[in-house]
Structure 1
Amino acid sequence: MGSGQSSDKLEVNRFLKGRGPQSLAKQVNASSFGAQPLGQMTWEVLHQHMPSFPDANTLKITYVFPEGVQTEKHPNPGRPYAESRLSSYLPDNNEGNSVLKLLEKAFNQQLLFAIAPGENGKDVITTAAVPLKTQPEGEGSRPDGYPDKEYLKMLKNVLRSKGVK
């Protein structure tokens, strides 16, 4: 490489050696990340049945977010938000376990939760545009509980629409 080489050629050489800009696929994946605060997702099997799924145990998914300060990707950068612990539920069957893997991908892509204004004027962590069943039982008319035979199908469609497959 001589000193008369243009900077354009130098950039191409760096790219060809793997040190250039991210691939288009990586750029697309990076832009699909949401504004979810940092947290942890764990799950466990409860040996109890849910309405609509009498032959399956229950998967309890727990999301824990420590208190923190909002960054530029949140609605109020520099403003604190409180610690939060939320749970959601799925049947422990083939379809439920498949959805659990999709929820894990969505969580890692920061798509499940967001920071929003709370009722008391303080910012809180809440579910984003992905509906979660936060009650293992309900009266059927409650959107956050079971029984709901169409929930897993609907949830897979919502996650697919967000690029989670």
Structure 2
Amino acid sequence: EGTYPLPEAQLDRFLVQIDVAYPDRATERDILIATTGVEDGAVRPVFATEDLLAAQNLLRRMPVGDSVVELILDLVRAFRPDEPEATPAVRESVAWGPGPRAAQALMLTVRARALLDGRLAPSAEDVLAMARPVLSHRMALNFAARARGESLQELIDATAGQLIGKKAAA
């Protein structure tokens, strides 16, 4: 979000939505002191350009099992209210669902999560963990669902959990 709400067509440009809560009092005090004085903090690079490009290349080359690929597709399609795969809750509550870029974002973020966790391939648990940050800004509740006080995040968590539970049981 910026100074005004972004149009729906613009929301899909972002890979994930990361919600940042307000800091606790001590952290906010540190921020206040560090940012209102005359000293500038020292900036130190975390990655050289070639290291970042190598990490991106490694991430894109990471293998993803067919079951995870199918789960990503099932999940994204389950949130499109006009698709046969949509759950009754999605059909009843979602105005518009995620497009193909959501599947691309899930593919990249589940790989990144696995890599950061020291694993060489993503799992269903990675898909479940990344569902909310990838999908929550790529879909919207309809007026009736908003009037009922429904939460998009709760719908994502419940639907993704059900889908992954069904896949695990099969």
Q: What's the TM-score once normalised by structure 1's chain length?
A: 0.27
Between structures 1 and 2, the one with greater strand share: 1
Higher relative contact order (CA 8 A, sep 6+): 2
Greater gyration radius: 1
